Amino acid sequence: MTDIEVLKQVLDAGLVAHVAVHDDDGQPYVIPVAYARRGDHVLFHGSSGSRLFRTLADGQPTCLTVTLLDGMVLARSAFESSMNYRCAMVLGVATRLSGDDELDALRIITEHLLPGRWEEARQPTPKERAATITLSLDLAECSLKIGEGLPEDDPADLVDPVYSKIWAGTVPIREAFGEPITDHHTPAGVPVPHYIANWTRP
């Protein structure tokens, strides 16, 4: 499997991306965004009232990252202890979407986060779409970083009479959806949508 295929898997598995942008004074910000992948592009959106999002829409170069934390790595020293993770990084200039292309992007983002919801929920109104900036970032410039495996201890710790007796290994981290909680506006007898039962986390 190629790095780009693994990178796409990371993007498909994540739910939140972080996007870099700076204001007119050069102050950097990192903004969490909902996102989804469509082919060789990452789609994300924000408020049209956001000065920072308007800056991205106007062509400021950016960096979008998605990190999946897979586990904690406990070595026999604090220095060698670490994390297992997968991180996708995408660099470039985002393109603002409009019309049917934007609506399709909003559908894809919704279905990435809430599979099955788009067909049941009310569609965005013209006013809601005017309040939203939807952007697309090409995967042409991207990188993948992966940390995995067991601890890599200092050889001296493995024979030390004290530290060699310390437990070492990995502690996996697993995400999971909990039981749905019905809000107080839902009429009695309305069941939890069947598609939610199919939601899983990789």
Domain of residue 89, CATH code:
2.30.110.10
86: number of Cβ within 10 Å: 20
CA distance 91 to 137: 8
Task: State the pLDDT confidence band at 202, using cuts at 50, 70 and 90.
Answer: confident
| Residue 60 belongs to domain spanning | 3-198
Q: How many domains does the chain have?
A: 1
pLDDT tens readout for residues 120-177? 999 999 999 999 999 999 999 999 999 999 999 999 999 999 999 999 999 999 999 9
Q: C-alpha angle 175/179/183, rounded to 5°?
A: 125
Please give the share of the chain, as a percent, with pLDDT higher than 90: 97
Q: C-alpha angle 11/98/15, rounded to 5°?
A: 20
**Strand blocks (E) in 48-187:** 62-74, 82-92, 95-96, 132-138, 141-147, 169-172
pLDDT tens readout for residues 55-67? 999 999 999 999 9
Contacts 24+ apart (CB under 8 A), 162-168: 163/76, 163/77, 164/76, 166/76, 167/74, 168/74, 168/75, 168/76
Give the predicted TM-score (pTM) of the model.
0.93
- Residue 58: predicted pLDDT: 96
- Residue 9: predicted pLDDT: 97
